[in-house]
Structure formats: structure tokens, C-alpha cells
Amino acid sequence: MPELPEVERAKELLRSMCVDRIIEDVETSEDTIVYSGVSHTEFAAEVKGRKVVDVARYGKVFYMVLEGGGRMPVLHLGMTGMVQVKGDQPTWYRVRPKDVQDEWPPRWMKFILHFAATDTQPAVQVAFRDARRLARIRLCAKPLEEPPISELGFDPLLSMPSVEDFSALVKKRNCPVKALLLDQSFSAGVGNWVADEILFQARIHPEQRASTLDDAEILLMHEKTVSICQTAVDVHADSSKFPTDWLFPHRWGKGKKEKTTPLILPDGEAAKIKWLTVGGRTSAFVEQVQKLSKSAAGSAKTKPKNRGRKAAQEDDDGNNSSDLSDAPGLVEHAEATNSSVKRGKRKAVEKEEEEEEEEEEEDIEETMASSSKSPAKRPRKIAKAEANPVVVDNILNVAEGGSSGSRRSRKAKR
């Protein structure tokens, strides 16, 4: 799913198109799953005619700050949600040939905001679309006083705790460190690829128990959590511009011969990348530099990923190619082939891919269900508040609330 850098990119796109402009008209499509706690007609009626003051992000959610009374839109991309401007290439998280379309309104559109031309800007239309129906659209009046923002952990770029506070948070947890990083109540915005990158650069095994990390490891993990997110954001989540010594380009080809240049470690040795399942997610790590201590190994409950299906090796985000054709931030199109053998392999990959994506969907749905049942809590204090008052004023509650149905029921409703 889109992680902090990809959501930041969507936020920046929306901000560049909408700030200081009045929403002249709104088109919506009915979707009782994506629209949470509000109907599509209520959404349109409440935002139409209001001026966009700002667009901001916290964790994996982003929101529009609107002028005047009334509630404000809060958005979660789910797995395949995106912001698209009419006439521009969509901000794909991952692309397949069948996804490429130039039609408008775009397929799977949930809403389109119309902005009139100004003295300096042409008229523009901005759509929010989602194929898998795991995105969420809400309206919130006082989001800081409501879950799930009040339940989220720190944002690595907005509210990263001090090293001392971070260390205390880590050491009191006995779960595998990879599972801890994926826990949104610990670190909001960190997802699977970011967590793998943090642990690789900090030289920590994903199964290492958080409570067993020493001060040096925690210090490095703190540093890398910030620097990796910031580096990815600085290049607008364009993975082709990520540093060449990152694990990222190499983590998508599980079980296949790597077509990209091998990852070379500082000692000149080629990295040996392995995969296992930690916290229900596929984890990539480099065995030469990410060692599991004996004490942690004895208590680890996770197991290596089953490798019996050679033709279907993929990541939990559904990215399976050993090149980067499906990696986030890249737009590459697979060459068509009439080979029955290749078609069979592709079907096997797609089947396994669906199973992995369903794992992530279940996690998303569990989070949404728990959020919808949670009582309101005290607003979360945001670090950098004094330095950036806009963040404090604009950090709105972004809900992942409302349980969606099963994968099968979602398909049926389409």
C-alpha cells in the first residue's frame, strides 16, 4: 500500500492544485464502503462552495482544510487509491498495462472537485479514485479530538520523538522489531518497504525482539527512520531517484534471478537477500549484515516464507517482478506475449499476488474496524508545533474507520 512518501506526494499534488481556490462544483459516485460515516451526496453538499486553505498529511492519511464552518475531507488511500488531475498522468503507486487509461471521468472515481479559472490559474478538475475500495473518505469537524489520529504514533517527519523517548518506546515492546515498525500506533506512515529499508540500513534483523536492541542499534534505527522517509519525500517518492545503495530496488524479486545490478555491500560483497514472514508481512533482509542474536532466535515465532511455488514469488504489496515493473513510483509496461507458458506463469503470479494482497487487506480492515469502535481520545501532541503552527492548526483526524466487507463481497458489489 502507499506509505508515507507516496501519501506525501499525493498531498503535495492536491495542495498545488487546490490551495486558495474555491470548490466550484463536486461530482461524486455512490460507494457505501469508501465513504465512511457520510454519504456521497452529503460529502458533495458540505464541501461545495468552500475555499481550500491548506492540504496536509499525518502518517498515511491526508486532508483538506476548508474555509468557513462545517466539516473537512479526510482521506486514506488504502491500497490503490490515488489523486488524479485531469490531463495529467495518474500518480500510480504500482502500474500494470490494464490500468493505463486516458478516460475522464476516470474509472473508479469517488469524487471530482471542480475549480474555476483564476487570473493566474486555468480551470482544473481533481479526482480521487480507488479500484480496490479500501480507501476511505470522511468528513470531520474536530479531527484532532477524534480517533484514529489520537491513537496514532509519531509521524517520522512531523513528530519524531527524541532518541531518549524513542528508546523508551522501543525497549518496552517485546515483539519483533519489524512488527513494531509496522504498528501505526507506534510509527504512523511506516509501511512494509520503508520498514525493510530502515532495518537494512540500521543492520537489524526483522525478527529481532525490540526489547533486546542495544542503545547503538536504537540510535541508528531512530536516525534511519527519519532519513529514509525524508529522502524518499525529497524526490517525490520516485523510486528511480532513490540512492543506489538502498535495499529498495532489490526487494521485489523474491525467488528470481535479479535483473538489476546486484546490491553491493561496503566490503565489496554482493548482498544475499532473503525473505521471511514477520508480523504477517513478507520481509526482505540481507543475511550478511542483519544478524539475529541467539537469544532472539530462540524466541522468534515467525517462519521463513514457503517457497514451494516457484512461479509465484511476490511481496505483500503485490509486487512480484524481479525487475521494477511493479515497484512503487515506476511506470513500466510488460511486453505482451502469446506464449502459453508465460501466460501460465503470469496467472500463477496473479493468484499468489491476490493472496498476499488479501493479507494486507485483512490488516487494513481490522484497523478500520477497531478505529470505528474506539472512543474519542485526547488530541495527540505534535512535535515541531512551535516551529510550524500550520501543522498544529491543520493536523486533522484522518479516519481509517468503518469495516469493509470481504474481498469476495467487494467484487460482487462491483
What does 335-366 look like in DSSP terms, one character per residue? Answer: PP---HHHHHHHHHHHHHHHHHHHHHHHHHHH
Query: How many helices (DSSP H) and strands (DSSP E) are in the chain?
Result: 10, 10
Model confidence over 339-356: pLDDT tens digits?
Answer: 454 455 455 444 444 544
Q: CATH number for 4-152+370-413: choose from 3.90.550.10, 3.40.718.10, 2.60.40.1180, 3.20.190.10.
A: 3.20.190.10
State mean pLDDT over 324-347. Answer: 43
| pLDDT at residue 401, as a whole number | 37
Q: What is the domain partition of the chain in residue ranges?
A: 4-152+370-413
Neighbours of 179 (CB within 10 A): 21
State mean pLDDT over 368-374. Answer: 53
Model confidence over 245-265: pLDDT tens digits?
Answer: 999 999 886 656 656 688 999
Q: Are 134 and 78 in contact (CB under 8 A)?
A: yes
The mean-pLDDT minimum among 9-13, 43-47, 329-333, 363-367 falls in 329-333
Q: Judge whether residue 146 has pLDDT over 70.
A: yes
Model confidence over 193-220: pLDDT tens digits?
Answer: 999 999 999 999 999 999 999 999 999 9
What is the value of pTM for the model shown?
Answer: 0.76
